[in-house]
Amino acid sequence: MTTVIALRHGETDWNAERRLQGWAPTPLNDRGREQAESAGIHLAATYDFDRILASDLRRTHETATLVREAGIEPDPILDRAWRERDFGVYQGLTYETMSDEYPEFSAERSGQSALAETPERGESLIDLRERIVDAFERLTDDAIDETVLVVTHGGPLYALFSQVTDREYLDLITGESQANCAVNEFRVDDGITVVRANDTSYRE
């Protein structure tokens, strides 16, 4: 059985300001570093990891490093396949501005049609989903009987959950949330079982 733990990165100032980060090199803020350290302590006490993969963006790399320093053995391997969606020219806008001024990209306002809309110099939500599904399939094909930590972003996690649970992608984007440093656990055997989803109870 293969176990994949998917962790969203810690908080950044752009998270707090509700800005589209995309591929921006935004660092963790003080709260985000505390979240990552707390997640690392919990994960080190709960799992025996064979490897750590992380998106190569700054906030995920920093999160993976802090998690590693809390007592997890493998060094992080950076993998750009696990990056957040590329928002192209709209990177840095607030979610509210994006929704009000460019509603064609808003899943809440435009529904299914927003999934295929591609920002200039960016990627669509469908493109993101295909990238993440491919990365997950390659990982599970390669990591047989391993326990792997993947440090990634909110967007990729919605895409991943839509694949493994057969839930509507649009419903996950518009109706679910992923907290910073939330833990998600998938067990892969004959099928894929979701054991934990958006779990931050270790901080309570």
CATH code, domain carrying 30: 3.40.50.1240
Q: What tokens does 113 get? A: 């049609």
At 5 the pLDDT is 98
Q: Domain limits at 47?
A: 2-203
In contact, 6 and 69? CB cutoff 8 Å: no
Quote the DSSP letter at residue 135: H
The pLDDT of residue 105 is 97
Beta strands 51-54 and 147-152: pairing type? parallel
Answer yes or no: pTM beyond 0.95. Answer: yes
Q: Report helix, strand and coil shares of the chain as percent, to nearest 5.
A: 50, 20, 35
Those residues whose C-beta lies under 8 Å from the C-beta of residue 79, and which sit 6 or more positions away, are 53, 54, 55, 56, 135
Taking the chain (204 residues) in runs of 10, the rounded mean pLDDT of each run is 97 98 98 98 97 98 97 94 98 97 96 97 98 98 96 98 95 96 96 97 93
The pLDDT of residue 183 is 98
Structure tokens that stand for 76 in this block: 């992080």
| Residues acting as catalytic residues | 9, 84
Sequence-distant (≥ 6) Cβ neighbours of residue 5 within 8 angstroms: 43, 47, 49, 147, 148, 149, 150, 183, 184, 185, 186
pLDDT of residue 87: 98
Q: Structural domain tally of the chain?
A: 1
The region, left, alpha or beta by phi > 0 then psi within -120 to 50, assigned to residue 104 is alpha
